[in-house]
């Protein structure tokens, strides 16, 4: 804990705050692309402390939140089948679909189980040959290597009753979509350290050069984030637009080559629909044709499921950074963690959940009768 406490040191944090405030000659707009960073920023009030120098915009950095409603409905359809044992990480169980969520499917008798690794799901498939075991493969590049390994091992072991519902998204195309938007105000990014620990930061270099925005690979503790902001503000003040690495204890420019190689062996890029955002070209990962036998969408004929987002949920605007959670009329009233309209309110990395849980601009709610 001593090592971790270094990145929570109040004296170091205060010094970095002073440095940022002294460096900035105007108010800059930065976006963090990581839900974990969002929760630290909101919990610690870093955005409020730095408000004279920096406006922090919360981007689409929560993989649970950006999983499209269609993919959730596909998961629900699979989980309701009597021949399917559906597995998922726990953070997906209360994400609302069109009619219900996975927790409600389980309450109705569906065999829905929480696992801590896709390899746990593969083990269940081996132990239950009479069941079709499906793993809900959600996440950014961070979780892709483990999911790729599960598929690779399933083929290697000949486990024919295992498949994955792939809902992977990748970060760089989302950043480009934000920068290309006509209402974009982002002048610099804090990139997610865990994604870059796998992928490195070479993909970010062309973005920084093309759009002339600094991108700082950043960790998740308060000192990490303040140092990342300080580096970004210094670049902006000096007119530079480079990729810098604050998270030196975990990230290298090349990332983790064996993990990247495995991901590229099993997955390929494809267009992906993001919840509340729309389709972003080549922003998702799908199984390569040689692994298509393990694609749950193909195995169960789910490709044609299409649904519309609920009009009362403005999660898309929150995920794009054009709306702060408390600016949504449903925040804290129609939409709460107990009765969420959208994933950002129920996910442990969602911006709406951060604002609600830490009491930020929470609306007063009349007690239920």
CATH code at position 27:
3.40.50.11740
Residues 214 and 319 reside in one and the same domain: no
Residues 252 and 338 reside in one and the same domain: no
Whether 365 is in a domain gets the answer no
Residues 168 and 276 reside in one and the same domain: yes
Residues 210 and 66 reside in one and the same domain: yes
Residues 121 and 248 reside in one and the same domain: yes
By DSSP bridging, strand 162-168 and strand 132-139 are: parallel
Q: Is 6 exposed, middle or buried (0-12, 13-18, 19+ CB in 10 A)?
A: exposed
Residues 181 and 204 reside in one and the same domain: yes
Q: Which residue has the tokens 């007063």?
A: 364
Residues 282 and 336 reside in one and the same domain: no
Residues 252 and 276 reside in one and the same domain: yes
Whether 364 is in a domain gets the answer no
Eight-state DSSP code of residue 309? P
Residues 305 and 250 reside in one and the same domain: yes
HSE-CB of 262 using CA atoms within 13 angstroms:
18
Whether 76 is in a domain gets the answer yes
Domain tally, the chain? 2
Tokens of 116: 């801590």
Residues 201 and 292 reside in one and the same domain: yes
Mean pLDDT for each 10-residue chunk of the chain (369 residues)? 80 97 98 96 96 96 92 96 97 93 97 98 98 97 97 98 97 96 96 97 98 98 98 98 97 98 98 89 97 97 78 87 92 90 91 90 44
Return the pLDDT at 240.
Answer: 98
Residues 235 and 349 reside in one and the same domain: no
Helix (H, G, I), strand (E, B) or coil at 216: strand
By DSSP bridging, strand 84-88 and strand 54-58 are: unpaired
Domain holding 345, by residue range, is 315-357
Return the pLDDT at 62.
Answer: 92
Tokens of 113: 């189980």
């Amino acid at each position: 804990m001593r090592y971790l406490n270094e990145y929570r040191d109040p004296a170091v944090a205060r010094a970095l705050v002073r440095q940022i405030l002294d460096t900035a000659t105007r108010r800059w707009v930065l976006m963090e692309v990581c839900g974990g960073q969002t929760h630290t920023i909101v919990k610690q009030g870093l955005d409020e402390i730095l408000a004279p120098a920096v406006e922090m915009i919360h981007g689409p950095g929560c993989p649970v939140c950006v999983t499209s409603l269609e993919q959730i409905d596909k998961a629900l359809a699979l989980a309701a089948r009597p021949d399917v044992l559906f597995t998922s990480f726990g953070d997906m169980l209360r994400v609302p679909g069109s009619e219900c969520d996975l927790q409600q499917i389980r309450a109705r008798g569906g065999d829905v189980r929480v696992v801590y690794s896709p390899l746990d799901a593969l083990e269940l498939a081996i132990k239950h040959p009479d069941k079709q075991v499906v793993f809900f493969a959600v996440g950014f590049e961070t979780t892709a290597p483990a999911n790729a390994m599960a598929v690779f091992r399933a083929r290697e072991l000949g486990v024919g009753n295992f498949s994955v519902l792939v809902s992977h998204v990748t970060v760089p195309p989302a950043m480009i979509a934000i920068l290309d938007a006509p209402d974009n105000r982002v002048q610099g990014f804090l990139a997610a350290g865990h994604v870059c620990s796998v992928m490195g930061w070479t993909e970010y270099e062309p973005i920084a050069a093309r759009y002339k925005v600094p991108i700082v690979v950043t960790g998740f503790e308060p000192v990490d984030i303040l140092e990342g902001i300080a580096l970004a503000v210094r670049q902006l003040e000096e007119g530079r637009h480079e990729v810098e690495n604050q998270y030196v204890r975990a990230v290298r420019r090349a990332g983790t080559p064996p993990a990247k190689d495995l991901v590229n062996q099993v997955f390929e890029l494809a267009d992906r629909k993001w919840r509340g955002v729309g389709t972003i070209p080549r922003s998702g990962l799908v199984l390569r044709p040689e692994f298509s036998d393990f694609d749950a969408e193909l195995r169960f004929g789910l490709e044609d499921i299409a649904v519309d987002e609920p009009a009362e949920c403005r999660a898309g605007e929150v995920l794009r950074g054009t709306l702060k959670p408390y600016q949504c009329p449903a925040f804290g009233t129609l939409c709460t963690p107990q009765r969420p309209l959208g994933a950002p309110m129920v996910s442990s990395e969602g911006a709406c959940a951060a604002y609600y849980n830490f009491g930020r601009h929470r609306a007063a709610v009349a007690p239920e009768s």
